[in-house]
Structure 1
């Protein structure tokens, strides 16, 4: 039975603001700033490419004039061919640089997001779904790629060509330009009005993708339970429902985007018809030459093409801003260590002058329903019910303290407070006489080994799991601690030894083996304080005895806080703290509590020390 009063991760939706997080274009700039040198080269190439493109209609006009006059072309054709080749080479190199930079921006965003995500306060993981967080690292960051590969090149190179063509057209024929600009202005206004809807729809689409990822992660994480419960079809239906939601939002984005795409084409067609019609009359009355009209039409194409690209780029940027809002939502959250910014990183004392290692002094704690300042009142899952009321006791160095009580009494919550996953609502938890709030979390946790209830085994190898808390441990030390917890047979049954894979969530190990591997990980670090939350719950009698001997071997001069569910674990403890409904109802040895505390006597009688 579970002893934890910590809030369990909910299987429903994580809370979201009604309108979702919004991102501004200025928030994209930091992602681009670190790639300034390459972007500077891209800008130079854009200028050269624009110049090469703009020169081509001028050469075409000269070719037509020369042909009309019956003069030899000379080097004009060669120059025109050279311009086309140079323009193509510039475009290709620019494309490579942008693709590379876009990939680098995605990498930077993912690194920043992961660094922030893994340092968030534990309370954030109580209310957020793992799959949704994974989706932000994966699909949301990918949309930033389009900002570089489409938005940037079209914004820079396209604008240069656009304004260059505009100036050339003004010089050739202001009347035709005025008519063209009137048509284009209508299309620009239309696109601007539509673009805001694209951003909103894209953000909602990414949220739906996050819901889908969370549903898949939930079902795959419990696939054996799902199969054993004959719930496969129901889970498939639930996932397909989320997939349909993502599809529907994708279709909505496609519909809105579809309004943008043809606008440039329509603008080009209408402009071309206007230029051909009006231009024909102006050629006929001698206002312009046929060569100028052809040049004007070529410049018209050169102006409309980047305009169409710009419309597409605006669409891509708005989709990226929708995803960036979800990324920034996580990045803007305070990390756990920010609450320790004013704490000097000094060696944590592990024992006070009076020999007390750990002390709870009138500690009150409750998992709040809404997030608040972690420095004052910690926030947890809104569905949590576990609380502590005035808990006080002291654990001396080198002694074993057992926490016992009914499920929901607050035992696991006390270990979470020692680890500073949360801080007390009021009262004080001390390590070596020092308030834990005055110690930064990393320094504190370096002094503590923690084997949580249902301790996870990370996908990877046995070695990687063992080195998680002791990265400098030798192979010999790893083998020794595995034998100490009776896991030597795991090494023997696989030729890979320490490099044997354990599978996702340790699926290639039995439940007891996973528990022992987690304990071996803590024993290998050999910290001054060891917290064990139901560490023998999955073990049979023989393995429990061997594990107790291993713990006893490393427990000398170390402080142990043990949540126990078996009488055999409790009776040898130097001190037993009995909890009920978050309150201490008895403290003493086994023989003392059997006499003084009815609850303990009843628990011991029925072996219900859970």
Structure 2
């Protein structure tokens, strides 16, 4: 069983808050400056897109001028000549430019999504283990999937296209000013009001979008939890209950999606209303001015075309505001993870393995004290409830207290004790999944905190209690820590742990899939595969956490023989609840409530440590 103390409390889900209010758990909001690096990675393509936007704007602005000439010549009975063909050419050119620009933007948008996913995954897989204890897997997956996808909209829904739109807007504005400043003043008044409305709503869009992405993260986490435990749920007859639980999260995501839709619904029609009102004003006032002889019919038609060209990029700009604010809400969640310090960034790197002393123990604990880090969410919840706290007087509860013991080189040392004693935590500290709260752990006389984690872990082979089989083939699982291992070596190590028959089940041999989470293997086979993976890497120190707990008597004996064979000239630290598997260890360390209560051989501990004697008596070993 996993140590109870080794499983830190899971953060409570935040309570629902009223829409539009800023709360501490809304998380950081991304700024446009944080978005720029993603865009600048593709600056060459974007420069070309901007050039196309300028050319497209020029082609569009030329069309009203040619229309003016066409109407004037018709009114005066002149021949049209090549003007019509020039107008057709501008329309075709503008269409081709728009299509190619759209392709480039879509392609660049996918590039932004790819680069953001690469950065996020690289950071995520290098986060300290404590971060994974405090966060839900489904929410992290949602950031890689849904949140990064939201960045595509920045490019595909108007931001870069707005650059050409600005030129069209300015060109149309100048053309309208030349034709009739009075009509332009009325148009600007209507459009100015619409801009004020959009700016006022933009901040609400960003907040709503971020909360919607968080709700999608909750939903993904709930689905991931249900799918990963589907067999347990079915066996417990809890399918309906889990469906209802997931439905609550789905409804939460729906509610926040509706909130985004409500705000967006206020923005989307603004451009349309501005166009309609402007058109009606220009048509009414312009018709009056034509009748009064202040402007010609050709000028009025040209003004109306410029009006459409003025409002269309304005609509694109409104769309860009909406899409950018939505993307910044998602980017805030992405940057929240990227901003976290990676595990490797905490390495002091002041020592190397060459500094090891041959006369020093392979592993030594020196007054090691440890408490699992408690997230702010957990602390706040504990303060509210004042019960069930994983803390003592406001401080995290200690899992290990002044633990000291040595593991001689080439020896086998067992850690035993009741559940929650701190055994698995001790191995996690050796692997530097966490660092001690106080005290020192040494490898060959070197403080492991001074070693780069990759160098340290290259010396260790670690088999977790519930070591997972990764989705993929047998070869993929075996070569995880030894990517250069040959197929013959893989077959040999499988035979050593009595997994040779697994190869015979499928004609694919080492390429045979093990299924998601190793579902095509039994529990004992998954455990043996994990041990085979560690043995294939052949590190000088092996850490085995309940490595034979899922095995029957025959396979346990074969496994012990395999471990004995590879343990020669290696150091082993073994955790076991079944004392029969460790009675022949060179040294046994007895832990209870995070403290060392005895160190010695089996016979010495039976005689001197009451807890060990009781454990041995219950297992009929005395």
Q: TM-score range by the shorter chain?
A: over 0.9
RMSD: 1.8
Q: In the alignment, which residue of structure 1 is the partner of 2:590?
A: 578
How far off is 1:59 after superposition? Answer: 0.3
1:317 alignment partner in structure 2: 324
Cα displacement (A) at 1:346: 3.4
Gaps of 5+ in 1: 373-380
**Residue in 2 that maps onto 1:543:** 555
Matched, 1:175 2:177: no
Whole-Å Cα distance in 1 between the matches of residues 158 and 59 of structure 2?
21
Partner of 1:486: 498
Q: Name the counterpart of 1:10.
A: 10
> Is the Cα–Cα contact under 8 Å of residues 261 and 311 in structure 1 kept in the other structure?
yes
Partner of 2:157 in structure 1? 150
Paired position in structure 1 for 2:20: none
Instruction: Please say if 1:509 is aligned against 2:536.
Output: no
Calculate the TM-score normalised by the size of structure 1. 0.96
Question: Deviation string for 1:63-117 (max 9, x for gaps)?
Answer: 1111111111111001000000100110011000000000000000000000000
Change (3 A) 1:17 1:500: farther
Q: Is the 8 A contact 2:183 2:282 kept in 1?
A: yes
Structure 1 Cα separation of the partners of residues 3 and 50 of structure 2: 62
Q: 1:225 to 1:10 in 2, by over 3 A?
A: farther
> Unaligned 5+ residue runs, structure 2?
16-22, 378-388
Give, in angstroms, the shift of residue 490 of structure 1. 0.4
Structure 1 residue 68 corresponds to structure 2 residue 80: no
Partners of 1:197 and 1:547 in 2: how far apart? 61
The number of equivalent residue pairs is 599
Q: Partner residue of 1:82?
A: 89
Deviation at 1:21, TM superposition (A): 2.3
In 2, the alpha carbon distance for the partners of 1:306 and 1:607 equals 80
Deviation at 1:285, TM superposition (A): 1.9
Q: Is the 8 A contact 2:14 2:25 kept in 1?
A: no
Instruction: Please state how far the C-alpha of 1:277 moved relative to its aligned partner.
Output: 1.1
> Per the alignment, in what secondary structure is the counterpart of residue 156 of structure 2?
helix
Is the Cα–Cα contact under 8 Å of residues 61 and 295 in structure 1 kept in the other structure? yes
User: Does 1:347 pair with 2:353?
Assistant: yes
2:470 to 444, 452, 458: 458
- Partner of 1:227, secondary structure, is helix
Relative to structure 1, the CA distance from residue 608 to residue 356 in structure 2 (aligned partners, 3 Å threshold; closer, same or farther) is farther
The alpha-carbon deviation at position 608 of structure 1 amounts to 9.6
Q: Deviations over 1:355-409 (max 9, x none)?
A: 411100111111132479xxxxxxxx96885611111111111000000001100
Q: Is the 8 A contact 2:127 2:343 kept in 1?
A: yes
* Residue 343 (structure 1) shift: 1.2
Instruction: Give SS of 2:159's match.
Output: helix
2:146 aligned with 1:134, yes or no? no
Q: Which residue number corresponds to residue 386 of structure 2? A: none
Deviation at 1:18, TM superposition (A): 2.4
1:378 corresponding residue in structure 2: none
Q: Residue in 2 aligned with 1:186?
A: 193
Match of residue 374 from structure 2: 369
Would the alpha carbon gap of residues 308 and 53 (structure 1) be closer, same or farther in structure 2, given more than 3 Å must change?
A: same
Instruction: Map Cα deviations across residues 160-213 of structure 1 (whole Å, 9 max, x no partner).
Output: 111110111111111110010000000000011011111111111100000000
Candidates 339, 363, 379, aligned match of 1:358: 363
Q: Secondary structure at the match of 1:560?
A: strand
CA distance in 2, matches of 1:92, 1:395: 69
Once the 2 structures are TM-superposed, how far is the Cα of residue 153 of structure 1 from its aligned partner? 3.1
Distance in 2 of aligned mates of 1:235 and 1:385: 32
Q: Displacement, 1:14? A: 7.5
Question: What is the TM-score with the length of structure 2 in the denominator?
Answer: 0.94
Distance 2:82 2:158 in 1: 37
CA distance in 1 between counterparts of 2:185 and 2:563 reads 87
Match of 2:33 among 19, 26, 32: 26
Inter-CA distance 348–334: structure 2 relative to 1 (3 Å threshold): farther
